[in-house]
């Protein structure tokens, strides 16, 4: 249980000190509960036998100190006091429940934001093996589970446990033998219920995994809707969804049915106990004290039945949700460890990857970018993806990386973008390491990939990506549209720049999407444009249009281009050929490409790199 609590406190996003006032309330409420239940016995005893007031020293003393004119008046006053205690206890219990819900759902909000922040700040290598459907599942279903089935259950369970301890203590004071008997019965019931803890954890794991699988299946089916419809494989995805839905249905019906057991078990125990307890008193001819003792045990049982059954249900929920806790804990820990290991390189060379808060300034760039002996190796691999890469990129020039698949081109670009941190070597801008302030370096770089990510929103918001509406600069927006040759598109759209492009920009052609990506980089005024096979998925005619848009930026922007088709790099000032993570040749386009093609007797304009 201590391991469970340590994981819970790690995942809990708030200051742990905020739990202290809640725990104090948990202790105060059972005191009122115990006091109000404890007064039931004397009240019923006096109500049935008023003369017994003289037989109870503390009641007699209170009666003498009171201003009551008669024993009957004192009994009525005592009854009123007991009722007020009950009302106060009920009001406090309601307030505590309200506080628990308010506190818990505030934590849900904070945990969701914490998880989103962790994902957004996670090292790039985390996404090399992450599944988007699983990240969505964690951010919504697992966070909801943490709030409802772990946090609320744990807080309520603590409250109920405190009540059980105080009430059972009162019962021990009332009658030791009877309380010992009922305590043993309750303990046996708890041990019996605890025997199924492995099964409860299994139910939780199956429920969570079936939900995650359902989200993944739906994501696949709808994400590839065109292919799904043309191939006609709707039944394939429907069968998969049916399997996971049935899996979810089976485990949740079994779990919820099992959660009915505690209340039934408690009622059986307490009814059997009350009847047996009364019978024993009658047989032993000790019925004189039966009324007061029995009244306390009856009221206590009314209070203990829901408390103990709720406590057992809480244990069941915590067991059932252990998979959720382990998953969130592991996810946050993994990201934390990846970020720590990512910083190890900078620590070795005495630098920091930490960015300044709210750093929107770009790193000064006047002369050149230099890669100095850069080496990178992916986790859990032995051969380096990049080995001692050294090159210089003068400002305003264009360089191209070419090479066969797996040569290391994309890895090199990811290192340049600051997504991957090298094992050794450095990248410097005008003699300043980019790792001294990685954020300011990335504020200098624009990225145009092969497949442009477009949000289901307007053209305006897709170009000014991540900028609030009230901060969008229309002059910059129009300039970016002109430079990316999107003016004709804007005129064709029904609502111009306010036209919603649809999910993944479904209303646009491939070439139009690429030019939106160029416009995005230009709007954010990035000095260095990195193009990772930005035209490789386009037809020749569309590629020509996009290439023209890129060429128009020559001299005004510094460009790094990964090419699949050699025709897209003819305008580049320098070409680097990569092979197995190393630069094997470099020079002008004429020196590297044309002469090589002439030797092999092929057309350099239409050639592609295999």
DSSP 98-151: HHHHHHHHHHHHHHHHHHHHHHHHS-HHHHTT--HHHHHHIIIIIHHHIIIIII
pLDDT of residue 429: 92
- pLDDT tens, position by position, 399-419: 888 888 888 888 998 899 888
Q: Say which residue, 563 or 430, is predicted with more confidence.
A: 430
Is residue 32 a contact partner of residue 89, using CB atoms and an 8 Å limit?
yes
Max Cα–Cα distance, the chain, nearest Å: 123
**What is the distance of C-alpha 73 from the center of its chain?**
62
Weakest mean pLDDT among 297-306, 419-428, 479-488, 601-610: 601-610
Question: Mean pLDDT in the chain?
Answer: 78
Burial of 171 (0-12, 13-18, 19+ CB in 10 A): buried
Instruction: Say yes or no to pLDDT of 362 above 50.
Output: yes
Weakest mean pLDDT among 392-396, 480-484, 489-493, 538-542: 538-542
pLDDT of residue 285: 58
Report phi then psi at 220, rounded to 5.
-65, -45
- pLDDT tens, position by position, 170-202: 777 776 766 677 677 777 777 776 777 777 788
pLDDT of residue 125: 81
CATH of the structural domain 17-338, one choice from 3.30.360.10, 3.40.50.970, 1.20.1560.10, 1.10.10.10: 1.20.1560.10
Same fold, 359-444+528-539+553-610 and 452-526: yes
Domain chopping of the chain, boundaries: 17-338, 359-444+528-539+553-610, 452-526
| % the chain with pLDDT above 90 | 3
Instruction: Say yes or no to pLDDT of 350 above 50.
Output: no
Which candidate, 34, 11, 53, places its Cα nearest to that of 147? 11
Contacts of 209 (CB under 8 A, 6+ apart): none
Instruction: Say yes or no to pLDDT of 531 above 50.
Output: yes
- pLDDT tens, position by position, 100-138: 888 888 888 889 888 888 888 888 888 888 778 788 888
- Give the dihedral of Cα atoms 9, 12, 14, 18; nearest 10 deg: -50
**What is the distance of C-alpha 271 from the center of its chain?**
45
pLDDT of residue 606: 46
Give residue 546's pLDDT band: very low, low, confident or very high (50, 70, 90): low
Instruction: Say yes or no to pLDDT of 61 above 80.
Output: no
E strands, 422-552, where?
424-429, 432-433, 445-448, 528-532
CATH architecture of the domain with residue range 359-444+528-539+553-610? 3-Layer(aba) Sandwich (3.40)
Give residue 73's pLDDT band: very low, low, confident or very high (50, 70, 90): confident
pLDDT of residue 604: 47
Report phi then psi at 433, rounded to 5.
-65, 135
Query: For domain 452-526, is the CATH number 3.40.50.300?
Result: yes
Q: Say which residue, 577 or 51, is predicted with more confidence.
A: 577
| % the chain with pLDDT above 70 | 80
Weakest mean pLDDT among 106-110, 198-202, 341-345, 576-580: 341-345
């Amino acid at each position: 249980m201590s391991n469970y609590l340590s994981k819970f406190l790690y995942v809990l996003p708030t200051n742990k000190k905020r739990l202290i006032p809640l725990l104090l309330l948990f202790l105060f409420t059972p005191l009122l509960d115990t006091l109000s239940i404890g007064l039931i016995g004397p009240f019923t005893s006096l109500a049935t036998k008023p003369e017994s007031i003289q037989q109870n020293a503390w009641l007699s003393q209170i009666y003498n100190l009171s201003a009551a004119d008669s024993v009957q008046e004192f009994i009525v006053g005592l009854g009123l006091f007991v009722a007020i205690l009950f009302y106060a206890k009920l009001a406090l219990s309601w307030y505590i429940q309200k506080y628990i819900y308010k506190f818990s759902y505030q934590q849900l909000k904070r945990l969701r934001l914490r998880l989103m922040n962790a994902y957004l700040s996670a090292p790039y290598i985390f996404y090399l093996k992450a599944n988007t459907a699983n990240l969505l599942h964690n951010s919504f279903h697992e966070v909801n589970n943490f709030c409802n089935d772990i946090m609320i259950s744990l807080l309520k369970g603590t409250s109920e446990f405190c009540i059980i301890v105080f009430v059972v203590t009162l019962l021990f004071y009332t009658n030791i033998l009877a309380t010992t008997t009922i305590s043993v019965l309750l303990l046996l019931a708890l041990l019996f219920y605890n025997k199924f803890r492995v099964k409860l954890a299994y139910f939780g794991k199956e429920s969570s995994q079936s939900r995650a699988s359902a989200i993944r299946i739906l994501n696949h089916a709808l994400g590839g809707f065109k292919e799904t419809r043309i191939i006609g494989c709707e039944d394939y995805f429907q069968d998969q969804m049916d399997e996971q839905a049935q899996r979810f249905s089976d485990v949740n019906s079994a779990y919820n049915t099992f959660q009915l057991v505690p209340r039934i078990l408690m009622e059986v125990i307490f009814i059997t106990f009350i009847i047996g307890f009364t019978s024993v008193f009658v047989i032993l001819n000790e019925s004189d004290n039966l009324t007061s003792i029995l009244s306390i045990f009856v009221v206590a049982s009314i209070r203990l039945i829901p408390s103990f059954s709720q406590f057992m249900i809480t244990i069941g929920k915590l067991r059932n949700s252990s998979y959720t806790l382990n998953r969130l804990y592991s996810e946050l820990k993994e990201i934390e460890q990846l970020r720590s290991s990512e910083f190890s390189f900078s620590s070795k060379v005495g630098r920091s990857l930490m960015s300044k808060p709210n750093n929107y300034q770009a790193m000064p760039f006047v002369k050149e970018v230099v890669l100095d002996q850069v080496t990178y190796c992916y986790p859990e691999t032995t051969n380096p993806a990049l080995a001692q890469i050294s090159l210089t990129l003068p400002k305003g020039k264009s360089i191209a990386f070419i090479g066969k698949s797996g040569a290391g081109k994309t890895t090199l670009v990811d290192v340049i973008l600051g997504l991957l941190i090298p094992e050794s070597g450095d990248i410097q801008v005008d003699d300043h390491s980019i790792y001294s302030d990685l954020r300011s370096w990335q504020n200098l770089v624009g990225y145009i990939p092969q497949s442009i990510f477009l949000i289901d929103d307007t053209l305006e918001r897709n170009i000014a990506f991540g900028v609030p509406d009230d901060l969008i600069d229309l002059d910059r927006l129009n300039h970016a549209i002109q430079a990316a040759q999107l003016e004709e598109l804007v005129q064709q759209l029904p609502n111009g720049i306010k036209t919603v492009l649809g999910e993944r920009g479904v209303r646009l052609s491939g070439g139009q999407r690429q030019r939106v990506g160029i416009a995005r980089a230009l709007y954010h005024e990035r000095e260095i444009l990195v193009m990772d096979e930005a035209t490789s998925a386009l037809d020749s005619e569309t590629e020509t249009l996009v290439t023209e848009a890129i060429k128009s930026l020559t001299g005004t922007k510094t460009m790094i281009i990964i090419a699949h088709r050699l025709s897209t790099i003819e305008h580049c000032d320098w070409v680097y050929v990569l092979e197995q993570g190393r630069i094997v040749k470099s020079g002008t386009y004429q020196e590297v490409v044309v002469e090589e093609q002439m030797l092999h007797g092929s057309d350099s304009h239409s050639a592609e790199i295999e």
